[in-house]
Amino acid sequence: MSDQIRWRPETLAVRGGYEGDSLTRSISVPIYQTVGYQFADTGHAARLFNLEEPGNIYTRIMNPTTDVLEKRISLLEGGLGAVAFSSGMAAITGAILNLARSGDEIVASTSLYGGTWTLFTSTLQDYGITVRLLSDDDLAQGDQAFNDKTRAVFIESIGNPRLNISDLKAWADLAHRNGVPLIVDNTFSTPYLERPIDHGADIVVHSLTKWIGGHGNALGGIVVDAGRFNYNTDRFGYYTKPDSSYHGLVFANLGEAAFITRLRVKILRDTGAALSPTNAFHILQGLETLPIRIRQQSETALLLAERLSQHPAVSWVNYPGLPDDPAYRNAHRYLSDGLYGAMLNFGVKGGHAQALKVMDRLNLWLIVANVGDVRSMAIHPASTTHQQLSPEEQELAGAAGDLIRLSVGLEHPEDLWEDLRQALES
């Protein structure tokens, strides 16, 4: 496995983390659709439960199919290890619960996916975890958001829905000089476009439901740990003090493996948001083609963004690959290979009502509340995902009434353009 660290993403996507099944010699990763594993004897069982010996105990905390997915994504992200979850939201919740308790605080970017936003500003608050929001523009004064209760910083590499590209190095410096790890949601970039750990992130989370699975048929999430952050400090007392649920185990004594071990054997064990082995298989199969999908989808998205910017019925286009886009500079600092991702936003002249008319005239583009599929999808956030917000709040959240959001799939670019053009012109 150590050789695989040197493999390029294309090789890792199809081969990483799997050296064949010794029993069957299956070249496709087998689906181990089992809950339990037979222990050799009672001594073996006791040693596994006491973490004295590695091995499978119960599928809520580990499974051989899921294990390949965890190793493969960890290799792609340049991490020490990973733990898969049943959805992206479960992965984000797990990462936060592994760092913060009631009375603690988190600092997060204002540019967040709506589900993360409500988790942070509502549900976590209900359980006593306060989230302080900080915009990209306020980074220079960011230190003011920290105190001795702060436990982590959370951002998205490419923000959903604004498509801003976070200055990872600046956020990592801010987190580290205030003694806490940086968590990056890398769902919109995928490890093919951007590896946050290379720029100072400590923890990476993904919704595997989107581009990594890529086919809109399986929910999943994952947390990858770089294994670099030192939890052996007073701020992380629950890592340095004996844990009563493990006969007094001190997680900080596990060194670089402290965070990822605690995440699996305590947080995943106790919250139970495990990925199903069959979903792990579907996601692994999708992952095999991630590099070629991202390449094609990014190329199509750039072409559509350029054409939309020239169209008289369009008032503005937001795509990180357009030279006048605010994200263009950071795109060149952080995204690889001149690819800018599969998401783009545009505004329809005539506002909310006209945007709805354009949506209803689309034929090939599917109206769907999901992104990252091989099928192209459009949504009007102001009347769907963001309909509970006032017009002012919609504007702030990057979901104004004239905005249509596109997730570009793998159909022929000209077919996609013709459908957009007829919807704008008819």
- Judged by the rule CB under 6 A, the positions of this chain that interact with ligand PLP are 87-89, 113, 115-116, 156, 160, 185, 187-188, 207, 209, 219, 221
Residues pairing with 91 in the sheet: none
Identity of the residue, 115 or 351, whose beta carbon is nearer to ligand PLP in the bound complex: 115
What DSSP character marks residue 365? S
DSSP string, 37-94: ---SSHHHHHHHHTTSS----BTTT--HHHHHHHHHHHHHHT-SEEEEESSHHHHHHH
Q: How far is the CB of 85 from ligand PLP (least distance, A)?
A: 9
Q: How far is the CB of 86 from ligand PLP (least distance, A)?
A: 8
Identity of the residue, 187 or 330, whose beta carbon is nearer to ligand PLP in the bound complex: 187
Identity of the residue, 147 or 370, whose beta carbon is nearer to ligand PLP in the bound complex: 370
Residue type, 52: E
Q: How far is the CB of 383 from ligand PLP (least distance, A)?
A: 18
Rounded Cα distance between 259 and 244, Å, is 17
Identity of the residue, 181 or 372, whose beta carbon is nearer to ligand PLP in the bound complex: 372
Q: How far is the CB of 186 from ligand PLP (least distance, A)?
A: 9
132 within 8 A of 106, measured Cβ to Cβ: yes
Q: How far is the CB of 166 from ligand PLP (least distance, A)?
A: 12
Identity of the residue, 68 or 223, whose beta carbon is nearer to ligand PLP in the bound complex: 223
Rounded Cα distance between 236 and 101, Å, is 10
Question: With 0-12 CB in 10 A as exposed, 13-18 as middle and 19+ as buried, what is 257?
Answer: middle
375 within 8 A of 216, measured Cβ to Cβ: yes
Backbone angles phi, psi at 125, to 5 degrees: -60, -40
Rounded Cα distance between 368 and 27, Å, is 35
Residue whose C-alpha is closest to residue 210's, from 184, 187, 191: 187
Q: How far is the CB of 188 from ligand PLP (least distance, A)?
A: 6
Report the residue closest to ligand PLP, judged by CB: 88
Identity of the residue, 91 or 249, whose beta carbon is nearer to ligand PLP in the bound complex: 91
Q: How far is the CB of 221 from ligand PLP (least distance, A)?
A: 5
Identity of the residue, 85 or 146, whose beta carbon is nearer to ligand PLP in the bound complex: 85
